Structure 1
Amino acid sequence: MRCRPGSLWLDLTSNDPRVATEIASVAAAAGIASVGAPMGGGPGDARAGTLRFYTGGAEAAIDRVAPVLALLAREGGIVRTGDRIADGYTTKLLVNHLWFGQAVAVTESMLLAQSLGIAPASFRDALVGSAGESAFTTGSLDRLLAGDYLESFGIDRVVEELDAVIALAEETGTPFELSTLVGRIHRDALERFGAVDGELLAAKLLEEQAGSTLRAD
């Protein structure tokens, strides 16, 4: 299918911002507007109406697609990140990157607490309202403690997103050592378990390395 001049390309994927910029440039030369609106959230958010969209592009173009996004987002919301199509993708990738880092940091802390005799449920409760509380501890830690490694998203896709962010940091000369380590742990998980579904397989890898699993009694 070919887009006609005057039409608009709306991309909801977690695209590489560099690739999206190149595609948008080609589209613009053909008279086609572009909006990047990568989606934040998973199947549960889709059912609950709490999806979030990180939009990037010209204001007029975003206004054109706002009614469509509003229907999809419902209670979630539309976040305008900038007037370049790359801005939405970069923001979404960084948001996800922070969550992946939280998953690793919390898992390591939980494993150390457990090895020192603190029950996982007790440490989880101690995190509530503390400086260590995060989107991961409030939204996903209980699922990890139940043995759920979040099979709604593939570990290979996690690695793709982290690799894209790390590449952007390298290109801009931005210090990114801790995040690079997070990426390596997820790549090790991909190598260990293969390209299967499991957004928290890095946590499972850390459990294996520790010789201990995290479960709430």
Structure 2
Amino acid sequence: MRVGFVGIGRLGRHLAASLLRGGFALTVHDRDSAAAAPLVEQGAVWAETPGSAAAGADAVITCLPSPAAVAAVLEGEDGVLDTLGHGGTWIDMSTNDHHELQRLAALAASRGLATLEAPVTGGVHLAATGEITVIVGGDTAVVRAHMPLLEAMGGRVFHVGPLGRASEIKVITNMLAFVHLVACGEALMLAERVGLDLRQAWEVIAASSGTSFVHETEGQVILNGSYDIGFTVDLALKDLGLVLDLGEETGVPLDLAARTRERFVEARARYGGSAWSPMVVRLLEDAVGVDLRAPGFPATLEPE
């Protein structure tokens, strides 16, 4: 299977590398050609435009930071929809708005193209090892045809239903992650202020009923002081906006999500949108006047 891959960011480069390891013929494009250079060294072909990445491909994957970026790559000049051949498949691995996904999928269908959505969850470090979770929405036959491709990138692959369902569950999982992140910071600060050893406190929480995936992963880079989880405040706000829109559409009041979004808005105002998302905990550190630090924690969870 010949695959085009558009979006070689912190996440995309690992997903694309997994495809190369899986033996897929890969053509890559990113606005920053330097980001794709390591993949080209490993055997990928560089494409100057998204359309060039799609030309001759059986499937094109997009892994981009926003719904607007996805639309630009598909519909823009020399875009994917102009060059992906009839019978090809567009696979969006971005965290997208389910309405926008459906709109673009209809455009793709009018040109004889199939669409799958396949957002991932679990963190950049799991993408690096090929163990990230892949959530798939789309027609069952199309999913089956592309399962080897999806399994090459992820450890667990869930087909959750028709197109749109994966986008919905993805923003729900992200909502939980951001709420857990704020709660993790408060728990660690309480532990520090009562005089507990922070490393041991982290270990006790990780072994308790109060643990979470976020505590066990992002808690480490908070205690290191790097906050580097490979995911920015701007991306968190984009995802929180999507889940709050979903709550409004369905009549579900999302009080915790709304308050969490307020904290991320404060973090963006204080530290900038390109700051790593765990910097939201820095707000509490600044308010209390105490840095949450403990020895022995890594600056990043990505393998060297």
TM-score by length of 1: 0.91
Distance 2:182 2:229 in 1: 17
Q: CA deviation at 1:113?
A: 2.6
Q: Deviations over 1:64-107 (max 9, x none)?
A: 2211111122xx12111112x21111112221221111110011
Q: Deviations over 1:161-189 (max 9, x none)?
A: 11111111112110200111111111111
Distance 2:278 2:203 in 1: 20
Q: Is residue 88 from structure 1 mapped to residue 166 from structure 2 by the alignment?
A: yes
Distance 1:45 1:197 in 2: 21
The partner residue of 1:115 within 193, 211, 217 is 193
Aligned to 1:79, the other structure's residue is in SS state strand
Query: Where do 1:153-164 residues align within 5 Å?
Result: 153-164=231-242
Contact 1:151 1:197 in 2 (8 A): no
Partner of 2:96: 15
Distance 2:229 2:148 in 1: 31
- One-letter amino acid of the structure 2 residue matched with residue 88 of structure 1: A
Q: Deviations over 1:128-176 (max 9, x none)?
A: 3211011112222122111121252221111111111111111211020
Partner of 1:179: 257
The partner residue of 2:119 within 15, 38, 55 is 38
- Residues 51, 122 of structure 1: alpha-carbon distance in 2 compared, 3 angstrom cutoff: closer
Size of the aligned set, in residue pairs, is 214
Q: Deviations over 1:45-66 (max 9, x none)?
A: 2332212211001101111221
CA RMSD in angstroms comes to 1.7
Contact 2:218 2:229 in 1 (8 A): no
Aligned to 2:136, the other structure's residue is in SS state strand
TM-score by length of 2: 0.66
Partner of 1:78: 157
Q: Name which of structure 1's ranges 22-31 and 162-171 shifts more when overlaid on structure 2.
A: 22-31
Partner of 1:148: 226
Partner of 2:302: none
Q: Is residue 211 from structure 1 mapped to residue 289 from structure 2 by the alignment?
A: yes
Contact 1:149 1:204 in 2 (8 A): no
Distance 2:217 2:124 in 1: 14
Distance 1:12 1:122 in 2: 37
Gapped runs of 5+ residues in structure 2?
1-50, 52-81, 296-304
Q: CA deviation at 1:5?
A: 3.3
Partner of 2:269: 191
Aligned to 1:54, the other structure's residue is in SS state strand
Partner of 1:24: 105
- Residues 39, 128 of structure 1: alpha-carbon distance in 2 compared, 3 angstrom cutoff: closer
The partner residue of 2:182 within 87, 100, 104 is 104
- One-letter amino acid of the structure 2 residue matched with residue 5 of structure 1: H
Q: CA deviation at 1:109?
A: 1.6
